[in-house]
Amino acid sequence: MSEGSSDGNELYPSSYISVPKAMQLISKQFTGNPVELREFIKKVEAAYDVDEPVNCSLLFKFVCGKIGGEAKTKLLARTRVKNWEQAKAVLEENYSLRRTLDYYAHKAFNIKQRANETVSQRGAQMDTMCGDLQRAAREHMEDLAWASEKTEGGGDIIDLLIRACFIQGLYDERIKTMVKTKDSINSPMAQIVEVALEEEIAIGSKRFRRNPSEQGQIGNQKNKDVHWMKKSVRRSE
């Protein structure tokens, strides 16, 4: 600890700053976005590090003023929140990045391709989901201070899970079977989507060849409809 002044009037180190100056470190309000929670906590704790300990209660009131939206509602619902540690526990309980990781994992495992959704659309959806899940997992691993080798391995596992989720979530069982047959552990996501697309096109082509007169029937029906409409118009004149 730094020494006080020679006259004995300075009770705290000269490195401490006032509450208003400490609050300048917290530039952005936290309103409930889980992605922003980690940065918000870092800035609040930095403000506590440079503020005089005697002003902790006052600083806490200012910090509460930097919490808004849904997060403010969550905080006010707890009557026993009297200091920053208690407030931080509430925020982490509701908005921790670990919850975000759980959310994206649950979404990846449970969302299936709809009957009217193409393989291309499904692939784009999974690609976005993979990015979200990788980001949340990476931030989670940073919180746990994982070594770089362990982090890289964790990322590879996430890729494998996303590819498995894409295949299992395919609507057409024939496409799913063909993709599984041609898939390998080293296949990138783009290659798996490409195989599924090829199978989707092949199945559509077989259906068309199986009903060669379908286009003609549709055309004949349209001609009949036009002829019927012309006759109806003549009768009404």
Q: Which residues pair with 94 in a beta bridge?
A: none
- 127, burial (CB in 10 Å: exposed 0-12, middle 13-18, buried 19+): middle
Is the pLDDT score of 71 beyond 90?
yes
In a domain, 216, yes or no: no
pLDDT (0 to 100) of residue 11:
45
Residues 102 and 158 reside in one and the same domain: yes
In a domain, 169, yes or no: yes
CB 100 within 8 A of CB 133: no
* Domain carrying residue 115: 97-184+191-197
Residues 57 and 111 reside in one and the same domain: no
Give the predicted TM-score (pTM) of the model.
Answer: 0.48
Question: Residue 153: which of 137, 130, 132 has the closest Cα?
Answer: 137
Residues 56 and 125 reside in one and the same domain: no
CB 92 within 8 A of CB 84: no
Q: How many of the other CB atoms lie within 10 Å of CB of 182?
A: 15
Is the pLDDT score of 37 beyond 80?
yes
Residues 49 and 111 reside in one and the same domain: no
In a domain, 230, yes or no: no
- Please give the average per-residue pLDDT across 140-155, as a whole number: 84
CB 71 within 8 A of CB 49: no
Residues 74 and 134 reside in one and the same domain: no
> Which residue among 50, 73, 95 closes a domain?
95
Residues 86 and 103 reside in one and the same domain: no
